[in-house]
Amino acid sequence: MDDFERELKIGFLVEAKQATADVEQCFLDLETNPEDEDTINKIFRLAHNLKGSSKAVGFSELGDFTHEFESFILRIKNKELKVTGKVVSILLQGNDHIVKTLDFLSDDINASVQPSPLVEEMKFYSEAQNEPQESVVEKVPEENKDNEEKPGKASLELELEKELVPDIDHSVELAHQPAILPDSQSSVPVQEKKSAPSAPTDDTLRVSLQKVENLINYVGEMVILQSGLKEQALMSNSLGLKKLVQQLNKVSKEIQETSMSLRMVPIKPVFQKMQRIVRDTSLALGKEVGIQLMGEDTEIDKTILEKISDPLVHLIRNSVDHGIEIEALRKERKKPLKGSVILRSFHQSGKLVIEVVDDGGGLDAEKLKKKAIEKKIITADTRLTETEAFNLIFAPGFSTKEQVTDVSGRGVGMDVVKTNILQLGGEVQIESKLGFGSTFRIILPLTLAIVDAMILMYSNQKFVVPVNQVYETVKPDKDNIRNSSLGDILILREENLPLFRLGDFFSIKNSNPIESMIAIVVRVGTTPFAFMVDDIIGQSQVVVKQLGPELQGIPGISGSTILGDGKPALIIEPPDLLKRSRGNTSKGNHERIQK
């Protein structure tokens, strides 16, 4: 295989993966509105292009399957097949097979693909429903009846080709996609364009993700140098230098924001995937549940997008399984028999917010406490607020299901949600009203590459903590600090918070009296606590650098950065600090928190 052929195949695989995502959404839309001609036509265009292109680049096995798949869809268009739940399921299974095939070929472009048994099922189901329907040929005027020909395979394909002619995408990304047009139609996409020129569009250019990552890295280095230059300018008496640094700050910020925006992509693909999850889960559970998507065009860092899918899948399944009641109970509560799930996203205060809202039965705080006691997650005498009781569902191994099913009951789903979101520097909030439903709210940074951070000093060493992880800072006095058999306690507005020194987590000694230090209060996670530092140096944007292999996976450390003085500093992850081993002074607090 020469380089040109390989490039063609790779290009096809990239385009085809996007097409399969688009066509799955069409199948789901078709189930809710089976008479929508626009949806049916779009399905045909995507399926036909996929068939023609796969054969054109040499993927013959995929081409054979998509040919049969297209034929199945053609029967739907010609009203030879009625759109039912079973038909849509076959369409979705066919699309799943194509997706798996594309992934298989992406791993090995020379691989041979095995035929799918779904082909026989499509043929069998078509024959089973093959009853006379209305003619597939449009009615012709009376004066043309003498010239009318009987419909056949050729005329149907010509009809399909005619539908494909006006549907042209002028973006640079698709400029080299093979087009399959009959010669007789080629001079017509020209006459139409001359008579009705299309509106100007914003051209796009496909760029390697690696190139974007390299650009982001260099911008990060520029931010570090900028911080150092700013510190030098502050120590200088030159007004000209200070003015230049100020102007450079503005330009650097614009370059930073523009470069970061290159990694921002719409959250739409992940949201559309959730429609399929709701459909499959509700069918498996025998419930009727619909989903409404809002804010699909909200942009998110591609790195975060790739990691947010699994938590959302668990949240959506949880809403359908645990949240939405069975039909009899909804009828008793005078609710619509069809349950509702809303998935929406939006930007708020420089953060990305994703909400999963259901109109189900809501969370029962007392039931959650009882189940947590049974599973020995908490003790019988543990006192919890309603919010803390709700957060019990995130505990490892926690589940209210008595029996394990294909959908839930293993107690790992919500634990995965909390863990993954925390790793992304975010948090999960729960609002619920018993009998009326629940809202699960995910709050994430817009990007992971550059974050707003607080620079802390402890025993002549600098540490960095993301601002979104800090709830508040407090300068306590002696009356606010108590020592008990379980460790130090910070009394904050009549609330007792476990209190630590930052050095307790890193075996760093510090002889400063605790009342002379500053408390950093953390409320991210199920257990609020505070840790003491010597001083807060300031707040600044820092570039997140990955740790080396020997330091990755250490609890409480999410990365590193280079400060303005050119020295490195660790970025701490407060919720994970409690997982670290500490000295005897804090052992009691650690045990209490684990309980």
| pLDDT computed for residue 567 by the predictor | 84
Judged against a pLDDT cut of 60, whether residue 377 lies above it is answered with: yes
| pLDDT computed for residue 132 by the predictor | 43
| pLDDT computed for residue 175 by the predictor | 35
Burial letters 328-353, b for 16+ CB under 10 A, else e: eebeeeebeeebbbbbbbeeeeeebb
Where residue 450 falls (left for φ over 0; alpha for ψ -120 to 50; beta otherwise) is beta
User: What pTM was computed for the model?
Assistant: 0.62
| pLDDT computed for residue 559 by the predictor | 84
Query: Do 571 and 557 contact (CB within 8 A), yes or no?
Result: yes
The stretches of 165-291 forming alpha helices (DSSP H) are: 188-195, 209-234, 239-261, 268-285
Residue from 276, 285, 289 nearest 339 by CA: 289
Query: Do 525 and 557 contact (CB within 8 A), yes or no?
Result: no
Q: Which residues pair with 572 in a beta bridge?
A: 557
| pLDDT computed for residue 593 by the predictor | 37
Report the SS3 class of residue 379. Answer: coil
Q: CATH code for 265-445?
A: 3.30.565.10
Helix axes 37-56, 60-77, angle to 10 degrees: 160
The confidence band for 73, taking pLDDT boundaries of 50, 70 and 90, is: confident
Residue from 360, 363, 411 nearest 389 by CA: 363
| pLDDT computed for residue 172 by the predictor | 31
Judged against a pLDDT cut of 80, whether residue 42 lies above it is answered with: yes
Which of the residue ranges 195-204, 456-465, 555-564 would you say has the lowest mean pLDDT?
Answer: 195-204
pLDDT digits (tens, 9 = 90+) for 536-576: 998 887 888 777 777 766 778 888 888 877 788 999 888 77
| pLDDT computed for residue 166 by the predictor | 35
pLDDT digits (tens, 9 = 90+) for 101-141: 888 888 888 888 777 888 888 887 777 665 444 433 333 34
The stretches of 78-164 forming alpha helices (DSSP H) are: 85-107, 118-128, 153-164
The confidence band for 583, taking pLDDT boundaries of 50, 70 and 90, is: very low
Tokens of 485: 């058999």
Residue from 317, 306, 303 nearest 274 by CA: 317
Whole-angstrom Cα distance, residue 218 to residue 26? 41
| pLDDT computed for residue 294 by the predictor | 94
Whole-angstrom Cα distance, residue 34 to residue 70? 17
Q: How far is CA 417 from CA 310, 311, 402, 429, 512, in A?
A: 8, 4, 21, 11, 39
| pLDDT computed for residue 361 by the predictor | 93
The confidence band for 458, taking pLDDT boundaries of 50, 70 and 90, is: very high
C-alpha dihedral sign at 268, 271, 273, 275: negative
The pLDDT of 266-289, averaged and rounded, is 90
| pLDDT computed for residue 356 by the predictor | 95
Where residue 349 falls (left for φ over 0; alpha for ψ -120 to 50; beta otherwise) is left
| pLDDT computed for residue 144 by the predictor | 41
pLDDT digits (tens, 9 = 90+) for 509-542: 888 888 889 999 998 766 789 999 999 998 887 8
pLDDT digits (tens, 9 = 90+) for 337-356: 999 999 999 988 668 899 99
CATH class of 3-195: mainly alpha
Whole-angstrom Cα distance, residue 339 to residue 325? 8
- Average per-residue pLDDT in the chain? 78
Which of the residue ranges 110-124, 162-176, 228-242, 494-508 would you say has the lowest mean pLDDT?
Answer: 162-176
Q: How far is CA 353 from CA 242, 298, 307, 445, in A?
A: 38, 10, 15, 9
Query: Do 396 and 417 contact (CB within 8 A), yes or no?
Result: no
Whole-angstrom Cα distance, residue 95 to residue 101? 10
- In CATH, 450-594 is 2.40.50.180: yes
**φ and ψ at 30, to 5 degrees?**
-65, -35
Instruction: Output DSSP code: residue 59.
Output: -
The pLDDT of 388-394, averaged and rounded, is 89
| pLDDT computed for residue 576 by the predictor | 78
Whole-angstrom Cα distance, residue 161 to residue 274? 33
The confidence band for 403, taking pLDDT boundaries of 50, 70 and 90, is: low
Which of the residue ranges 5-19, 151-165, 268-282, 453-467 would you say has the lowest mean pLDDT?
Answer: 151-165
Quick one: CA torsion of 244, 248, 250, 256, rounded to 10 degrees? -170
The confidence band for 591, taking pLDDT boundaries of 50, 70 and 90, is: very low
Instruction: Output DSSP code: residue 541.
Output: E
| pLDDT computed for residue 194 by the predictor | 41
| pLDDT computed for residue 330 by the predictor | 94
Whole-angstrom Cα distance, residue 213 to residue 226? 20
Q: Domain limits of the chain?
A: 3-195, 209-263, 265-445, 450-594
Q: H or E element: which one contains 51?
A: helix 37-56
Q: Determine the distance from the C-alpha atom of residue 296 to the mean position of all C-alpha atoms in its chain, rounded to a whole number.
A: 11
Give me the DSSP letters along 309-354: HHHHHHHHHHIIIIISPPHHHHHHTT--SSEEEEEEEEEETTEEEE
| pLDDT computed for residue 573 by the predictor | 83
**φ and ψ at 438, to 5 degrees?**
-140, 155
Judged against a pLDDT cut of 70, whether residue 4 lies above it is answered with: yes
Q: How far is CA 594 from CA 326, 426, 526, 591, in A?
A: 36, 22, 11, 5
